[in-house]
């Protein structure tokens, strides 16, 4: 009898492990991958650019029209792949450069289409990044810190057999991602645009400019998000912590914010109001914060922040409601500081990150040399960005988080930090 009691659990365990994890090949960082994209149209780049510009000039919430292509990844062919330009500042900010970010969607034209159990891939162009490591290192820090964040790798990308450049391949946040990280993908996934997370009333159309619903589009029920924003905005201070903890996975949010502040990621929600996903997880009844887009992380000294964003929050025009209310709450602020302290003791150290940086440098240097469309022609900038950019600078009492052990817990002192990233 006791043996039969455990049989269902064992069968469930074996069944789960028979399901292949996605991206085992694509996100193998021991080599630079090769992606070749073949279009039938000789003017494919003009078409891709026109389609992207039409989206930006008309309705940025709509998807630009992709082009059908054949793709070969590390020698494996995939037919009927949808390809389009993507991105925001990394696209239009790149001006006349041919090196624009791209998206490969294996599932758009072929139901169930995939490569390496992945439905799509994002090819980031390393815009304004002489190191080619901002995205990679940011996501690595987040994942090492226990945050559900995309994986990345490097690939030399060819369009119609013409080398277009070295790209950072970034995992898509989609139903495959949700299933692997949360064991569930039935809930609503929202991608944020520019948003202060302000409650705008019960009409869901009021939120269409702030968010894009990425799953369950047919049902199109935004009531869970609207209720959450109501809680964030309108819960009285004396009940705010308990109410927020009941509706938001605090670990994912506080860890993401600690990382964003520490790597001076101004283009994230706490400052710029964008670049994240919210997943309404029916399995937990909570929203999960999923970070996104780190090509502008590790900014220069003009964007230095104190660890609790005190100076930013004191600005009259500061309108980011969630970080403001979270850090105005003494209990949540203490939780956040403990998390920030752990980040800088366990992950954000030279001992932890230097091996990652050194291995990536050895991996991609020759591919950067060959890149005909890189944004920084002087390879000395690559070397300099690594020697100066990814180094914590500790001077006297200035630390990311100053803390001491009192025998039972870390006592955290909220201090200013210095972290410089040299861009050239």
- pLDDT for 55: 65
Place of tokens 């490569």: 115
- Identify whether residues 219 and 322 lie together within a single domain: yes
- The string of pLDDT tens digits covering residues 274-300 is 999 999 999 999 999 999 999 988 876
- Identify whether residues 223 and 128 lie together within a single domain: no
Percent of the chain at pLDDT above 70?
Answer: 83
- The string of pLDDT tens digits covering residues 102-126 is 999 999 999 999 999 999 999 999 9
Domain boundary among 298, 313, 345: 345
Mean pLDDT to the nearest integer, 37-51: 96
Cα–Cα distance for residue pair 37/106, rounded to 1 Å: 12
Q: How many domains does the chain have?
A: 3
- Identify whether residues 56 and 80 lie together within a single domain: yes
Q: Is residue 7, in this structure, part of any structural domain at all?
A: no
- Identify whether residues 203 and 288 lie together within a single domain: yes
- Residue 88, classified by CB atoms within 10 Å of its CB into exposed (0-12), middle (13-18) or buried (19+), is middle
Beta bridge partners of 73: 35, 76
- The string of pLDDT tens digits covering residues 4-37 is 333 333 333 333 344 458 999 999 999 999 999 9
- pLDDT for 5: 33
Place of tokens 């929202």: 190
- The string of pLDDT tens digits covering residues 313-369 is 888 899 999 999 999 999 999 999 989 888 988 888 888 888 999 999 999 999 999
Q: At 195, give phi and psi (nearest 5°).
A: -150, 140
- Identify whether residues 395 and 331 lie together within a single domain: no
- Identify whether residues 79 and 145 lie together within a single domain: yes
Q: Is residue 1, in this structure, part of any structural domain at all?
A: no
- Identify whether residues 77 and 155 lie together within a single domain: yes
135 and 294 in contact (C-beta within 8 Å)?
A: yes
- Identify whether residues 364 and 304 lie together within a single domain: no
Q: Is residue 17, in this structure, part of any structural domain at all?
A: no
User: Tokens representing 339?
Assistant: 């998390």
63: confidence class by pLDDT, cuts 50, 70, 90: low
Q: Rg of the chain's alpha carbons, rounded to an integer?
A: 22
Cα–Cα distance for residue pair 67/80, rounded to 1 Å: 9
Domain boundary among 172, 198, 228: 172
- pLDDT for 388: 62
Residue 249 has pLDDT above 90, yes or no: yes
pTM, 2 dp: 0.87
Q: Is residue 290, in this structure, part of any structural domain at all?
A: yes
Q: Is residue 225, in this structure, part of any structural domain at all?
A: yes
Beta bridge partners of 115: 118
- Identify whether residues 331 and 271 lie together within a single domain: yes
Domain boundary among 314, 345, 376: 345
Q: Is residue 286, in this structure, part of any structural domain at all?
A: yes
- The string of pLDDT tens digits covering residues 157-190 is 999 999 999 999 999 999 999 999 999 999 999 9
Cα–Cα distance for residue pair 249/279, rounded to 1 Å: 10
61: confidence class by pLDDT, cuts 50, 70, 90: low
Nearest to 343 by CA among 262, 283, 265: 262
- Identify whether residues 206 and 319 lie together within a single domain: yes
How many Å separate Cα 342 from the centre of its chain? Answer: 21
35 and 155 in contact (C-beta within 8 Å)?
A: yes
β pairing state of 67-73 and 76-85:
antiparallel
For the chain, the farthest-separated pair of C-alpha atoms sits apart, in whole angstroms, at: 72
Nearest to 423 by CA among 391, 389, 387, 373: 389
Cα–Cα distance for residue pair 175/180, rounded to 1 Å: 9
- Identify whether residues 398 and 256 lie together within a single domain: no
In terms of residue numbers, what domain contains 109? 24-172
Sign of the dihedral defined by the CA atoms of residues 105, 110, 114, 119, in that order: positive
Q: Is residue 206, in this structure, part of any structural domain at all?
A: yes
- Identify whether residues 320 and 197 lie together within a single domain: yes
Cα–Cα distance for residue pair 189/327, rounded to 1 Å: 26
- pLDDT for 3: 37
3-state SS of the chain? CHHHHHHHHHHHHHHHHHCCCCCCCCCCCCCCEEEEEEECCCCHHHHHHHHHHHHHHCCCCCCCCCEEEEEEECCEEEEEEEEEECCCHHHHCCCCCCCCCEEEECCCCCCCCCECCECEEEEECCCCCCCCCHHHHHHHHHHHCCCCCCCEEEEEEEECCEEEEEEEEEECCCHHHHHHHHCCCCCCEEEECCCCCCCCCCCHHHHCCCEEECCCCCCCCCHHHHHHHHHHHHCCHHHHHHHHHHHECHHHHHHHHHHHHHCCCCCCHHHHCCCEEEEEECCCCEEEEEECCCCCCCCCHHHCCECCCHHHHCCCCCCCHHHHHHHHCHHHHHHHHHHHHHHHHHCCCHHHHHHHHHHHHHHHHHHHHHCCCCCCCCHHHHHHHHHHHCCECCECCECCCEEEECCCCEEEECCECCECCCCC
Nearest to 32 by CA among 159, 160, 157: 157
385 and 131 in contact (C-beta within 8 Å)?
A: yes
User: Tokens representing 291?
Assistant: 């970070």
């Amino acid at each position: 009898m006791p043996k039969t009691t455990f049989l269902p659990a064992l069968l469930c365990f074996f069944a789960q492990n028979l399901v292949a994890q996605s991206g085992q090949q694509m996100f193998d960082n021991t080599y630079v991958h090769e992606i070749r994209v073949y279009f039938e149209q000789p003017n494919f780049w003009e078409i891709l650019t026109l389609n992207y510009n039409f989206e930006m000039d008309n309705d940025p919430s709509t998807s630009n029209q992709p082009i059908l292509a054949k793709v070969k990844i590390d020698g494996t062919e995939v037919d009927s792949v949808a390809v389009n330009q993507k991105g925001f500042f990394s696209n239009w900010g790149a001006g006349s450069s041919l090196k624009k970010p791209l998206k490969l969607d294996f599932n758009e034209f072929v139901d169930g289409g995939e490569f390496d159990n992945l439905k799509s891939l994002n090819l980031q162009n390393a815009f304004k990044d002489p190191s080619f490591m901002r995205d990679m290192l940011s996501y690595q820090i987040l994942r090492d810190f226990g945050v559900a964040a995309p994986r990345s790798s490097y690939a030399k990308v060819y369009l119609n057999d013409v080398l277009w450049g070295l790209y950072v391949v970034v995992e898509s946040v989609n139903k495959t991602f949700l299933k692997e990280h949360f064991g569930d993908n039935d809930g609503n996934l929202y991608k944020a645009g520019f948003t202060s997370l302000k409650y705008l009333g019960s009409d869901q159309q009021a939120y269409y400019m702030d968010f894009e619903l990425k799953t369950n589009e047919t049902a199109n029920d935004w009531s869970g998000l609207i209720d959450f924003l109501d809680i964030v905005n309108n819960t009285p201070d004396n009940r705010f912590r308990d109410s927020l903890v009941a509706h938001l996975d605090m670990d994912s949010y506080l860890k993401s914010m600690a990382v964003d502040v520490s790597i001076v990621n101004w283009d994230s929600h706490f400052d710029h109001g964008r670049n994240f996903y919210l997943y309404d997880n029916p399995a937990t009844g909570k929203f999960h914060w999923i970070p996104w887009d780190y090509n502008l992380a590790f900014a220069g000294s003009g964007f230095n922040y104190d660890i609790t964003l005190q100076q930013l929050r004191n600005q009259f025009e500061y309108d980011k409601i969630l970080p403001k209310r979270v850090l105005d709450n003494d209990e949540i602020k203490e939780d956040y500081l403990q998390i920030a302290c752990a980040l800088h003791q366990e992950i954000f150290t030279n001992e932890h990150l230097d091996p990652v940086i050194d291995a990536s440098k050895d991996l991609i240097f020759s591919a950067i040399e060959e890149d005909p469309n890189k944004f920084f022609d002087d390879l000395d900038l690559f070397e300099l960005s690594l020697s100066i950019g990814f180094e914590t600078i500790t001077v006297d009492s200035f630390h990311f988080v100053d803390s001491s052990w009192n025998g039972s817990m870390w006592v955290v002192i909220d201090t200013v930090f210095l972290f410089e990233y040299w861009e050239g």
